Structure 1
Amino acid sequence: MQNLKPLKRFGQNYLHDKNIIQKIIEEFSPNENDIILEIGPGKGALTDLLIGKTKLYYAVEIDKRVIEDLKNKFPNVIFINQDFLTLDFNHDLNLNHDLNLNHDLNLHHDFTLNLALTQQTKLRIIGNIPYNITSPILFKLIESREIISDVLLMTQYEVAKRIVAKPNSKDYGILSVLIGYFAKPEFCFKVSRNVFYPKPNVDSAIIKIDFKKNKISNIRDELFIKVVKACFGNRRKTLKNSLTNSELINVDLTKINFDFTRRAEQLEIEDFIYLTSQIQKLID
């Protein structure tokens, strides 16, 4: 794998700085009882330092060129040669699986990752993810949050800033609100573009997302997401204009006691919760 050429279509940029790798591991702080799933192990830079710290380790890698080498190098890892976005988290996983048999698993593109995890054994996810599909990955993690404990991701620096942004800032948007509502995000540290091969055009950052946060409302998740997306649909316009130009056009906003002359970036998460609850009442 030493001379493997990164593929642009997979958004591959290999991390090669050992100090940064060690810093990521320390931030993740694995323990032996964790069930870890790594997104995009690539050449196994993170895998190499994590595998000895936990008993059950999955790694999802789309690049078929590296799978056999990875399996030979890390025989105790369950490698899944598949696009992470196509994984299905809905079936059972035998948590007592004999890891010595992992090498015999029939791992192919249509493999379904089966996970039925107890409250005490939720997944911990780590990965240097392709920047071109960051948002879809984050939405998939939100949808699967009931079986995920926490996530540590390498993302584009600008995306990391958006995730932790506060209201009334240019970075505040859909990701800020949704991840702040469903989880507790934390900006860990910035990573220079110079520690990757090939060197990307942007800097990166490590972001932590803790899904152990308890939700404080009874509104429907899908409606909350729909309302947030609609509010930010026309960022420069007022909430009234944004909502009436969305799929919520039939909601009678005059029946809601709310200041619709504001713009979406002025609202706190609590404002989005209240607005969604009122819309939900009208719809129901």
Structure 2
Amino acid sequence: MEKVRAKKHLGQHFLTDLTIAERIAQAVTGHGGVEAVLEIGPGMGVLTDFLLQGNLRVYLIDIDRESIAFLHKKYPQLGERILEGDYLKYDFSRLLPEKYAIAGNFPYNISSQIFFKVLEQRDKITEVVCMLQKEVAQRIASPKGNKDYGILSVLLQAWYDIDYLFSVPPHVFNPPPKVNSGVIRLIRNSVKKLDCDEKLFVKVVKAGFGTRRKTLRNCLKSFQLPEEFKTHPMLDLRAEQLDVSDFMFLTQKIEASRGTH
């Protein structure tokens, strides 16, 4: 079969190292008793080959028509489980089981958007094992107090336990990217609902990191903080010094001042 050309506008970098592909596939645990895994951006199926050796029912989605044609020839047995489309816009409600895992070598240019969709679907997606730009992978897995720690770190860590698994050099891709890559695993935690208004929580986290060098007292000026809370020492900190529970505490205080309790 003719190989698929990597397309720059789609952010494609095809993995060529089989050992790394196997390690990524083996990192998918099937957490939560899921029976299916959706691979995002399978390209020519280097990772797919190893996912098919596992126990999970494999679904593939790719926006690249050339890849889709290639995958249909390579995996005729998958049939309708090979989906052509944009993961960010695709409606999986009737196609996938109620709960499933995600795997993939995520295009660097949309990896953050993929995670925001994962957050929207967090009650369905029990696990994510993916490769992405090392800097972004480190940020997502980073604990508080680290310069990499940011909005996605807090929002994802509220719902998932996250491990940075290993780093991947550029030369194992065709074409090689200009940066290193990292593989992370997200496992859905037991949190069903945050102990605060979840939409407000997201706004508080985003505002907190709005100007990283400022203290939370300055970053949260647009919110109504209770008078008695304005001298709280937490407001002298910067957002990167707070973990998920701290942001929940802040959100509760703002909720209280709005009379929502």
- TM score, norm. by length of structure 2: 0.90
Separation in 1, partners of 2:147, 2:54: 40
Q: Could you tell me which runs of 5 or more consecutive residues in structure 1 were left unpaired when the two chains were aligned.
A: 94-113
Name the structure 1 match of 2:177.
200
Q: Could you tell me which runs of 5 or more consecutive residues in structure 2 were left unpaired when the two chains were aligned.
A: none
SS in 2 for 1:23: helix
Name the structure 2 match of 1:86.
89
- Describe the superposition over 1:11-66 as per-residue Cα deviations: whole angstroms up to 9, x where unpaired: 10000011111111222246996211110010011112222434632111000112
CA positional deviation for 1:255: 4.5
Cα root mean square deviation, aligned: 2.1
Name the structure 2 match of 1:65.
66
How many residue pairs match? The answer is 254
- Describe the superposition over 1:50-98 as per-residue Cα deviations: whole angstroms up to 9, x where unpaired: 2243463211100011212211211232111111100224x3x3xxxxx
Indicate how the Cα distance of structure 1 residues 29 and 55 shifts in structure 2: closer, same or farther if over 3 A, else same.
Answer: closer
8 Å contact from structure 1 (residues 184, 213) kept in 2: no
8 Å contact from structure 1 (residues 57, 76) kept in 2: no
Name the structure 1 match of 2:109.
132
Q: Does 1:277 align with 2:252?
A: yes
Separation in 1, partners of 2:68, 2:7: 15
Separation in 1, partners of 2:34, 2:137: 29
Separation in 1, partners of 2:209, 2:39: 32
- Describe the superposition over 1:124-146 as per-residue Cα deviations: whole angstroms up to 9, x where unpaired: 11010001111111111011010
Separation in 2, partners of 1:235, 1:8: 32
Q: What are the within-5 Å matches in structure 2 for residues 254-265 of structure 1? A: 254-256=227-229, 258-259=232-233, 260-265=235-240
Q: Does 1:252 align with 2:225?
A: yes
Q: What are the within-5 Å matches in structure 2 for residues 102-251 of structure 1? A: 114-115=95-96, 117=98, 122-215=99-192, 217-244=194-221, 249-251=222-224
Indicate how the Cα distance of structure 1 residues 178 and 266 shifts in structure 2: closer, same or farther if over 3 A, else same.
Answer: same
- Describe the superposition over 1:103-132 as per-residue Cα deviations: whole angstroms up to 9, x where unpaired: xxxxxxxxxxx4461xxxx20110100011
- Describe the superposition over 1:160-219 as per-residue Cα deviations: whole angstroms up to 9, x where unpaired: 111121222211111221111111111111111110010101111110001143257421
More displaced stretch, 11-20 vs 22-31: 22-31
Percentage of identical aligned residues: 39
More RCO (CA 8 Å, sep 6+): 2
* Aligned partner letter, 1:41: P
Name the structure 2 match of 1:107.
none
